[in-house]
Amino acid sequence: MQPESLFSATALARKSVVIVGGTGGLGRSATRACVAAGARVVAVGRDPEKGEALQRELGAAVQIVTGDATDAATVDRAVSLAVAEFGRLDGLYHVAGGSGRAHGDGPLDALTDAGWAYTLQLNLTSAFYSNRAAVRQFLAQGSGGTVVNCGSVLGFSPSPRYFTTHAYAATKAAIIGLTQASASHYASHGIRFNVLAPALVATPMSQRAQTNPEILKFIRTKQPLDGGRIGEPEDLDGAVVWLLSEASRFVTGQVIAVDGGWTVSEGQF
């Protein structure tokens, strides 16, 4: 489904948005959707070729920052670029992160110190850096703003058989805590914080699950909407645009599961 069919082409008109992790997977789809909704976007990603391809596709509405989200300077550069190019910052979507399985993440008894440290830096510390940079800019502008953090259903709805990366789950649960504490503290400044929590989505990070027949069988009943399928990045786009737009102006501190029914389904084996 194309983003133009999901929401108004003016839903984010004149909004300046930074998308951390905006050149690949969920973030690339969100960047396209936000531009389709009228936003001007600074997309942050590690792969310069992906960034260049996205800029060629979307043109002047997108600026690219190449860098690692686990480096605080990267998102600081992105926020500064948004202000320099577009005059202000209105919204942040933090989607950067990933699995630490290859680095030692796993069930608690097998989880290594290195896997724990790597996964927390990748998912939680990166979100801290981007959220801090955004809120500092919102306060400096005196304008309010909105932050959307990408969590996961695994942060509150675990799967003990197939998805046992416990450091990853811990980071996604912590993102909810950071988001809700921030939402409470900054509400009087007109700054909103919310979490999107997807279930299994077809991205480069989920290749292991996508190619496992047993997991695919599980997903058919665990994510029963639309035939029991793995999600697509575009399935999140409508929620991203809504949370970044004025249509959700009275919504803060919420966790919105975009999960095909994961959190309300048993997932029979």
Number of Cβ within a 10 Å radius of residue 98: 18
Q: Which two tokens stand for residue 126?
A: 């990166």
> 187: Cβ–Cβ under 8 A, 6 or more apart, which residues?
252, 253
pLDDT in tens, 78-133: 999 999 999 999 999 999 999 999 999 999 999 999 999 999 999 999 999 999 99
Q: What's the pTM value of the predicted model, to 2 decimals?
A: 0.95
Q: Which residues are annotated as catalytic?
A: 168
Contact indicator for 243, 147 with CB cutoff of 8 Å: no
CA–CA distance, 267 with 269 (Å, rounded to integer): 6
More confident residue, 226 or 5: 226
- State how far the Cα of 143 lies from the Cα of 137, in Å rounded to an integer: 9
In a domain, 87, yes or no: yes
Q: Phi, psi (5° rounding) for residue 166?
A: -75, -30
Dihedral pair phi/psi, residue 155, rounded to 5° = -75, -15
Domain membership of residue 263 (yes or no) is no
Q: Is residue 3 part of a domain?
A: no
Q: Which tens digit of pLDDT belongs to each residue from 157-193?
A: 999 999 999 999 999 999 999 999 999 999 999 999 9
CATH classification at residue 52: 3.40.50.720
Q: What is the per-residue pLDDT for 1?
A: 42
Q: How many domains does the chain have?
A: 1
Residue 75: is its pLDDT beyond 80?
yes
* pLDDT surpassing 90 at residue 206: no
Classify residue 4: in a domain, yes or no: no
**Residue 262 domain-assigned (yes or no):** no
Taking the CA atoms of residue 108, residue 114, residue 116 and residue 121 in that order, the dihedral angle to the nearest 10 degrees is: -170
Tell me, yes or no, whether 113 lies in a domain. yes
Q: Quick count: other Cβ atoms within 10 Å of Cβ 266?
A: 8
Secondary structure tally for the chain: helices H, strands E? 9, 7
Q: Range of 185's domain?
A: 10-256
Average pLDDT of span 135-162 = 97
Assess if residue 112 is contained within a domain: yes
Please, are residues 250 and 17 in contact by the beta-carbon 8 Å criterion?
Answer: no
Domain contains 206: yes
Torsional sign, CA 214, 219, 220, 226: negative
In the predicted model, is pLDDT for residue 4 greater than 50?
no
Closest CA to 179 of 197, 196, 193, 198: 193
Strands 91-94 and 62-66: unpaired
**SS3 category, 92:** strand
Residue 5 has pLDDT above 60, yes or no: no
